Structure 1
């Protein structure tokens, strides 16, 4: 009975694991739904290795079953003792070598292809290079040639190589967009580089929005260190860049309530948060850039993008992201002050 209970428990966990493996309320958040050239290459390698492993298991199981039934002991007679077959030994030595080569050759070729970032290092290159900087527990993205810095929402053009320059400004993190490719560590002592391509058709299927994650355990809010990727056409991207570059001063409040919020922001928040997209030195990146906060898809990367959730976040960020760097950095605010500040922040937009 005890063994039966254990088997039932194992079966229950196996069914739960299978069910949970398919759970995701977010579109294109799985590496098994590739949405770009890098993801396609990595997915093909996963399929190849899986086919090889399954093939080996099937062959071994067939041989095992044949031997089990054909050569099972029928009496007490001791079978003839032999040293072995040189032919069989050669076969089972050569086959693993061939399988290893079948797996290794495309893997090594893909590794060199995905590591080729010569284009981004050229002096007069036209390549789009984005400097990704990771923090506890948020991301900022610097388009150095375009002289733009933004946070949490990464904007990229589709159907072309986008190069990434990765570094961490506190502890080790890992930059990963599951559906498009990656992942690669962001370290404090060196820069990692790689490239991705965002497929336009699959981007349209996903509503032009992909999900990014931190894939390196970095602290109590590691699982909440999300960012969003807006994959749009090159024309739309160029328009976005021009709109961001046109912002030379903080957006003016459009209503009396927003004006009150701007005044609160300038007294309590401006010391950490920028509201212009011009490039800042790394030492000044102590909080997310809020230039186009009103156009973003999430508050703090995880909450619904509306005034209520924004006020909840400002009121007590520790509740939503334990160990974050924002907790305790500003005075407590009344409900009226929170209303005004939320009104101002939600009005920070660069596009109509």
Structure 2
């Protein structure tokens, strides 16, 4: 008997839970994300109305035609009605019209969000999904970074969305930043496109939304929206080659002698590997290991000592470096600003 009061209490308290922690997709920060939220509300309103009508009718008939208390048991079969053209037309037309309206609304929104970018004045970024990290190439500016996508904010009066060219280097991934846009898959041997537009400066977190292997849950995305002036400064900093300090030459030599240089690129250095993230300006990023660890000396040392501790099955190998070698290598990496 206690189950009904408990269920009613949970239903009554559920709006308070939603208010206390609003899911990211219901707190949009871009026109496309707002459009997706409005579509959800439209679908929710229609399905709620259907639920109320059907559930209300069911509850009414159960109550209206119940056996009165104390009435003698009647096991006779009630009158059966076979075929009703008006009812059959109604339950065929109503769902058809609902699906048609929803389809037209969704198609209109999808076409608008997947529109081709203008030929001039558009920032384009090539985003490549790897197991389990993200590669972001800015072809217009001639550099590549990893895991943290930096974009300029967009003015509502003069929108300047960023257009992403989505590719996969291995398996199917899905790019999803809930506050900025919907999900779009990255499929091997196929190029998909999407646009991002941030109304305000800030950090917007996302993730791979398609299971892609053991570390799928730790393939995070970090989009940083900055003012156009800050973006220009960031681009200028990223275009510089890596600065080499003589004081960290021992760590630099370890990087070049080990397999590090075969997997990673450091512009201005002999390291030209493409299997792992570009490390030219590693210390300009806030995180490492695709958003799993904060980018600091301690976490860099732990990551180099045993990558599997943070991401079991990671493609980053354990190089079996001594504590002294790890320290020297970290000293070198810390200069890549």
Asked if Structure 1 and Structure 2 have the same fold, meaning a TM-score greater than 0.5 normalized by the shorter chain, the answer is yes
- The equivalent position to 1:315 in structure 2, one of 291, 298, 305, is 305
Matches within 5 A, 1:323-334: 323-328=313-318, 330=319, 332-334=320-322
Measured in 1, the distance between the counterparts of 2:138 and 2:53 equals: 52
The equivalent of 1:244 in structure 2 is 238
Deviations 1:268-324 (A, max 9, x none): 22222112299x99xx52010112211211121211221111111110112221222
The equivalent of 2:94 in structure 1 is 95
Structure 2 gaps of 5+ residues are 155-159
- Secondary structure at 1:97 match in 2: helix
- The equivalent position to 1:155 in structure 2, one of 133, 150, 153, is 150
The equivalent of 1:294 in structure 2 is 283
Root-mean-square deviation (CA, aligned residues, Å) is: 3.1
Q: Is the 8 A contact 2:177 2:221 kept in 1?
A: no
Any runs of at least 4 consecutive aligned residues in structure 1 with deviations exceeding 6 A, and if so which? 21-25
1:344 equivalent to 2:332? Answer: yes
1:143 equivalent to 2:158? Answer: no
1:262 equivalent to 2:252? Answer: yes
Matched residue count: 318
TM-score for both structures, normalised by structure 2: 0.84
- Structure 1 residues 31 and 95: CA distance shift in structure 2, 3 A: same
Measured in 1, the distance between the counterparts of 2:103 and 2:275 equals: 43
1:191 equivalent to 2:181? Answer: no
The equivalent of 2:227 in structure 1 is 233
The equivalent of 1:111 in structure 2 is 110
TM-score for both structures, normalised by structure 1: 0.81
Measured in 1, the distance between the counterparts of 2:206 and 2:80 equals: 61
Measured in 2, the distance between the counterparts of 1:271 and 1:37 equals: 42
Kindly indicate whether structure 1 or structure 2 has the higher relative contact order, using CA contacts under 8 Å at least 6 residues apart.
Answer: 1
- Secondary structure at 1:179 match in 2: coil
- Structure 1 residues 266 and 225: CA distance shift in structure 2, 3 A: same
Q: Is the 8 A contact 1:261 1:341 kept in 2?
A: yes
Measured in 2, the distance between the counterparts of 1:315 and 1:234 equals: 39
Q: Is the 8 A contact 2:135 2:147 kept in 1?
A: yes
Q: Is the 8 A contact 1:228 1:297 kept in 2?
A: no
Structure 1 gaps of 5+ residues are none
